[in-house]
Amino acid sequence: MQPTQKPHASQLNRYKSRKMKGRTKGRLISKSLTVLLALLSGCAAAPGYLIIKEEIVIENSILSDFPILADTPQDVLSEIAQLGEVLVFAGNQTIFKEGDKASVLYGVVDGEVELGITVQDKILKTDIQYEESIQTRIETIENFIIIESIDPGEIFGWSAFIDPKLYTSTAKCSQPSKVISLPADELKSIFANNATSGFVFMERLSAVISQRLRNRTAKLIESWSQAFDVNRI
C-alpha cells in the first residue's frame, strides 16, 4: 500500500480560496434573492430590514384614534390620510436608528415600538500570557438601553419637526407591529393651509415632547442616584 501524500501548501491555499469565494457567492445570491422576493411581493428594501407596505386606504377613523389628531376636521383628516402609508414590521425589526435623518412622523396602529439609545462603555482589559508579558487594552462595549415604549394610538419620530431633524433614539419593534408613516414636510404644508388645526396639532406635539423629556430625565436621575448615591448631577 502506498503512503497517502499530504496536499501541498499551495494546493491548500487554492482550496481555501475557492471555498471562500463559494461562500461569498452564496451570500450574494441569498441577498439578491431576498431583495428580488421583496420587490415581487411589493415590499421596499431598506438597510438591514424589509418594510412591507400595505396597499390599503387609510380611513379617517384610524387617524382620529390618535389623540394628537382627535377632533381634527374630516376634510383635513382626508388630506392627511392621502399622505400616509401603513407599514408592517416583524418583531425586533428596526424602523430607524439614532442619528438618522428625520423626515417621517410615525404612529403605532397595532403592536409595540420601543425607543432606545446606545451607550458606549470603555473597559480596561488585561492579557497575561506569563509573568513578564502583561498587555492592556481599552475595549469599547455598546449597550442598548430602552427608554420608552410606544403603544397603539401613540406617535414617535417627532424629531422630523424640529431642527436639526435627526432622530434622537432608535425605534425597534418589540413584537410584530403595524405603523402609519406621515411625511413631515407634506404634513406641515397641510397645516399651513389649515391654521387652526395646525396650531392644535403643534400644541399637542409639544405636550408629547415635553412628557417624553420629563420621563427620560426622571429615569436618568433615578439611575444616577442609585449608581453613585449622590444628590447632585
Q: Where are the domains of the chain?
A: 8-41, 50-117+145-228
Binning pLDDT at 50, 70 and 90, where does residue 216 land? confident
Check whether 23 has a pLDDT greater than 70. Answer: no
More confident call, 86 vs 233: 86
Q: What is the per-residue pLDDT for 8?
A: 52
Q: What is the per-residue pLDDT for 72?
A: 96
Q: What is the pLDDT of residues 106-127, one digit of tens each?
A: 999 999 999 999 888 777 777 7
Domain 50-117+145-228 indexed as CATH 1.20.1250.20 = no
More confident call, 129 vs 170: 170
Q: What is the per-residue pLDDT for 21?
A: 46
**187 vs 174: CA distance, rounded Å:** 27
Q: What is the pLDDT of residues 36-82, one digit of tens each?
A: 333 333 333 343 344 677 667 799 999 999 999 999 999 999 999 99
For the chain, percent of residues with pLDDT exceeding 70: 72
> How high does pLDDT run on average in the chain?
80
CB atoms within 10 A of CB 80: 22
Range name among 99-103, 135-139, 168-172 with the lowest pLDDT average: 135-139
Q: What is the per-residue pLDDT for 137?
A: 79
